Amino acid sequence: MIKMAVYGKGGIGKSTTVSNLSVAFARRGMTVMQIGCDPKADSTICLHGGKPIATVLDLLRQKNKQVSLEEMVTRGYAGVLCVEAGGPTPGTGCAGRGIIAALEALTEKKAFEVYHPDIVIYDVLGDVVCGGFAMPIREGFAKKVFVITSGENMAIHAAANIAAAVEHFADRGYAELGGIILNRRNVAREEEKVEELAQDVHSRIVGRLPFSELVQQADEQEKTVLELFPDSDMAREYEKLAQQVLTAVSQKGGNQP
């Protein structure tokens, strides 16, 4: 089983990228589980045509230990197994608590043994890497971490912080950095700045996504590009990225060869 986490600054296109990757993996015949670890609980929404699914935290509030695994896991487009951790009511608790509760509940219900996923993708907000947000790395749920960034300064700053956190936990035998995914926004010196970031964190750019209006169009219709525009150049870019990620997962470490 491949276990990976994808981190990135809020608004960088992380969930859009992850959802398209999930479909690309599923179309390869893989059983895919996507676990949204953002309190907004919208990681998998494009896999359900815009319809939100019940979050693990909400289910636990309503039913406590009586919640079933089938209630926590919902099949989305292309058969992707979807989970949303959820979060507290704004201002009432720690946002990372939903991630901790969700992963503990999935483990208790033996989700991975029941569904036998070939690949599990944790979609994690990367503005902060502490508490629950670090759990996929810290507790060994993920073995590889990929960081999505553009050439925008705040996105690069967040990516560097994420890479530093991964390096810290890697010393303890947990997840390691698989590489950087460049999601282009067509800002000045974008390629150069992200190359510099990769060098600074002793990693590499494993994939480069072009800026495409089709991505925004698909997001507006709350679908993936691979569902809405399956024959487009952008769909092929996501398919290519899926192969690049699989290649990176099979390699030891995130350092440049």
DSSP string, 2-31: EEEEEEE-TTSSHHHHHHHHHHHHHTTT--
**Full strand arrangement of the beta sheet holding 74-75:** 74-75, 81-84, 32-37, 119-125, 2-8, 144-149, 176-183, 205-209
pLDDT at 256: 42
At 4, give phi and psi (nearest 5°). -135, 150
Q: What is the pLDDT of residues 85-124, one digit of tens each?
A: 987 665 555 667 778 888 999 999 999 999 999 999 999 9
pTM, 2 dp: 0.93
Is pLDDT of 255 > 60? no
Which token pair is 210? 């072009």
On whether the CB atoms of residues 125 and 81 are closer than 8 A, the answer is: no
- The owner of tokens 């912080």 is 161
> Which residue in 40, 58, 118, 240 is the catalytic one?
40
> Which residue in 14, 143, 144, 223 is the catalytic one?
14
The count of other CB atoms within 10 Å of the CB of residue 256 is 11
- In a 3-state reduction of DSSP, which class is residue 246? helix
Whether 127 is a known active-site residue: answer: yes
Which token pair is 49? 């045509």
Which token pair is 184? 């282009």
Mean pLDDT over residues 208-221, rounded? 97
- In a 3-state reduction of DSSP, which class is residue 120? strand
End-to-end CA distance of the chain: 25
Is pLDDT of 150 > 80? yes
pLDDT at 68: 93
> Which residue in 3, 9, 143, 144 is the catalytic one?
9
Q: The domain 2-249 belongs to what CATH superfamily?
A: P-loop containing nucleotide triphosphate hydrolases (3.40.50.300)
Those residues whose C-beta lies under 8 Å from the C-beta of residue 2, and which sit 6 or more positions away, are: 118, 119, 120, 143, 144, 246, 249
β-strands 176-183, 2-8 pairing: unpaired
Mean pLDDT over residues 7-14, rounded? 93
pLDDT at 257: 36
Residue-wise DSSP of 44-92:
TGGGTTT-----HHHHHHHHGGG--HHHH-EE-GGG-EEEE---PSTTS
**Least-confidence region, from 15-19, 92-96, 146-150, 176-180:** 92-96
> Which residue in 109, 118, 127, 240 is the catalytic one?
127
Whether 9 is a known active-site residue: answer: yes
Which amino acid is residue 212, in one-letter code? S
In the chain, where the domains are located:
2-249
Backbone Cα Rg of the chain: 17
- In a 3-state reduction of DSSP, which class is residue 33? strand
* Mean pLDDT over each residue of the chain, to the nearest integer: 91
Which amino acid is residue 111, in one-letter code? A
CA 77 to the chain's CA centroid: 17
36-50, 100-114, 127-141, 198-212 — most confident range: 198-212
